[in-house]
Chains A and B, each alone.
Chain A
Amino acid sequence: MRKYFYIFKSNLIANLQYVSNIMIGFITYFVIIFIFTNLWEYIYSNPDKLINGYGLEQMIWYVIVTEILWYATGGRKLCNKISNDVKSGNIAYNMNKPYSYIGYSLSSHMSEAILRGVLYTIAGMVMGLVLLGPIKDFNLISIPFVLISSLLAVLINILLVICIGLTAFWVEDSGPFYWIYSKVILVFGTMFPIEYFPGIIKIILNYSPVYVTTYGPAKLFIDFSFESCLSILVAQIIYLILSVLLASFIYRKGVRQLNVNGG
Chain B
Amino acid sequence: MLMAVKNQARCTFLAIKYGIVKEMLNRVSFITNITFMILNNASMLIQWIVLYSLKDNIGGYTFKEIMLLWGLAASTYGFSHAFFYSSFKLSDTINKGKLDAFIVQPKNVLLNAITTHVSSSAFGDLIFGYLMVFIYGFSFKLFFLFTFFTITGGLIIVAFAIILGSLAFFMDSSELIADNGNNLIVHFATYPDGIFKGFVKLILFTIVPVGIANYIPLQVLINFDIVKFLIVLSLTIFFISLACLIFKLGLKKYSSTNLMSARI
| Interface set of A (CB-CB < 8 Å, partner B) | 20-21, 24-25, 27-28, 31-32, 34-35, 38-39, 41-43, 51, 171-173, 175-177, 179-180, 183-184, 187-188, 191-192, 196-197
Asked if B6 is at the interface of the complex by the 8 Å CB criterion, the answer is: no
Distance in Å from the Cβ of A250 to the closest Cβ of chain B?
A: 19
Are A176 and B50 in touch, CB under 8 angstroms? Answer: no
Residues of A within 8 A of B184 (CB): 27-28, 31
Are B50 and A192 in touch, CB under 8 angstroms? Answer: yes
Are B43 and A173 in touch, CB under 8 angstroms? Answer: no
From A24, A42, A172, A183, B180 is in contact (CB under 8 Å) with A24
Most buried by A among B46, B177, B183: B46
Q: With A and B bound together, what is the CA distance between A32 and B35 in angstroms?
A: 26
Interface on chain B toward A: helix, strand, loop, or mixed SS?
helix
Asked if B188 is at the interface of the complex by the 8 Å CB criterion, the answer is: yes
Asked if B36 is at the interface of the complex by the 8 Å CB criterion, the answer is: yes
A187 touching B32 in the complex, CB below 8 Å, given contacts A24-B180, A35-B187, A179-B37: no
Distance in Å from the Cβ of A15 to the closest Cβ of chain B?
A: 15
Are B47 and A38 in touch, CB under 8 angstroms? Answer: no
Q: With A and B bound together, what is the CA distance between A51 and B54 in angstroms?
A: 8
Distance in Å from the Cβ of B21 to the closest Cβ of chain A?
A: 17
Interface on chain A toward B: helix, strand, loop, or mixed SS?
helix
From A24, A176, A192, B33 is in contact (CB under 8 Å) with A176
A191 touching B36 in the complex, CB below 8 Å, given contacts A24-B180, A28-B187, A35-B188: no
Asked if B26 is at the interface of the complex by the 8 Å CB criterion, the answer is: yes
Residues of B within 8 A of A184 (CB): 43
Q: With A and B bound together, what is the CA distance between A179 and B188 in angstroms?
A: 20
Q: With A and B bound together, what is the CA distance between A31 and B196 in angstroms?
A: 12
Asked if B44 is at the interface of the complex by the 8 Å CB criterion, the answer is: yes
Are A32 and B187 in touch, CB under 8 angstroms? Answer: yes
Distance in Å from the Cβ of A224 to the closest Cβ of chain B?
A: 24
Q: With A and B bound together, what is the CA distance between A101 and B122 in angstroms?
A: 32
A187 touching B180 in the complex, CB below 8 Å, given contacts A42-B59, A179-B36: no
Residues of A within 8 A of B177 (CB): 24
Asked if B131 is at the interface of the complex by the 8 Å CB criterion, the answer is: no
Most buried by A among B58, B173, B177, B180: B180
| Binary contact readout B48-64 vs A (1 if CB under 8 angstroms, 0 otherwise) | 00110011001100000
